[in-house]
Each structure stands twice: as structure tokens, then as C-alpha cells.
Amino acid sequence: MEKARSRFLLLRPTLCILIAIGFPSRISSIRFAIHNLELLLFAKSSIVAFMWAILMHNTEQTMHLVVHENAYASDFHHCFSLLSNSTGATGLNSEARLSGIDIVIGKQGESCESACKLKGQSCVPSRLFVLNNCEFLQKYMSCNDACLASTGPDQPAKVVDDAPKHLNPGACLYTQIESMLSCDGSHQHTRRLCPCA
């Protein structure tokens, strides 16, 4: 373990320099850094080989970790995001990402735009991805022990209990295709989980 610690101490200034100059500029994820530190600590390769591996790492494998340097931490455009990426995963607490957002459960067949409008608010499309997971669906909608991936524009949502059996009554639905997330989506047999402000 002492050998691993000394390797890390030797590498730390190099990592700081790489981060400071932004190289590789497209890879700015903590997960990437942790992965590489684990490689350093547990691999038997030299520091030079390790640094070469970082520099030559295939960026296509890390594109899902990419953050745009002009990303904002909130819709109010005050602070730049520290850790965000195209998958919606962030280093910030998900609850914090919903600061200033009211969570509204729409009526059966209602879009988030309509549900928010009834509360005198508007749907915040950039926050749908925060709610688009089983944890939030279960917290707000009690998902009858079923949370399923789906592809409709009406996610995140819960299938109403009196829906036809083939639609999985009582199940919560999320989408794995975040481009499908929409404030306007609705389905006659679901109730939407909506971010309103």
C-alpha cells in the first residue's frame, strides 16, 4: 500500500498540470479520474506508461462523460456547472438540482405542460431528466414494485391501476432515450411526474 501511495504522490502534480491546462480537454469527469487513479494504484505499470495510457485513451469510450464547458448549474444561468454530462448524471445531489422546482403529478392522460399550467406554472423541460429514474418515481408515485424502461414521450410516469393488463398497471415508467423527454407528452393510461416552476 505504501508503494501505491508513493506512486499517487508522484503523479499528483502531473494530474494537476493536466487538469490546469485542460488536457485532455474533453474528459473532465471525476469518474474518469477515479478510474485512472485505480489503474495507477493497482496496476504494475510504470508512471510513464500510466500517463501515456491517459493521454492516448480512446475518447469515444468517454464521450458519455463529457461536460460542455459552458454548461450551467441551473436554469437561472448564474453558476457554471461543476460536474454535468450528457447522460444527466451529476456530482450534485439530485434534490439540489430540483431547487425552485415544484414536483407535480399530472392527472390521467395529462401532459406536464397542462399539469403545470393548472398550478399557474410552466413545465421545466431541462429538469425532466432528474425525475426520469426509479428512485424519484417510487418516492412520488408508489410504483407497485415495478419500474420499467419505456420509450414513450410521456415519461417519467406511472401506469394507472385500471389500465389494460398488457400496459403493466401500477408500474412506473422511465425512458433510457433522454431526447424523448418532453413536457408535451401524454398517454391515456399514464400519470406524469412533472417539474414545474
Query: In this predicted structure, what is the pLDDT of residue 4?
Result: 56
Break the chain into its structural domains and give their ranges. Answer: 2-65, 94-196
Query: In this predicted structure, what is the pLDDT of residue 29?
Result: 47
Query: In this predicted structure, what is the pLDDT of residue 83?
Result: 38
Q: What is the pLDDT of residues 154-182, one digit of tens each?
A: 999 999 999 999 999 999 999 999 899 99
Residue ranges in the chain modelled with pLDDT below 50: 16-31, 39, 42-45, 52, 55-74, 76-91
User: Could you tell me the three cell numbers for 78?
Assistant: 448564474
Query: In this predicted structure, what is the pLDDT of residue 94?
Result: 73
Q: Is the pTM of this model over 0.85?
A: no
User: Could you tell me the three cell numbers for 184?
Assistant: 408535451
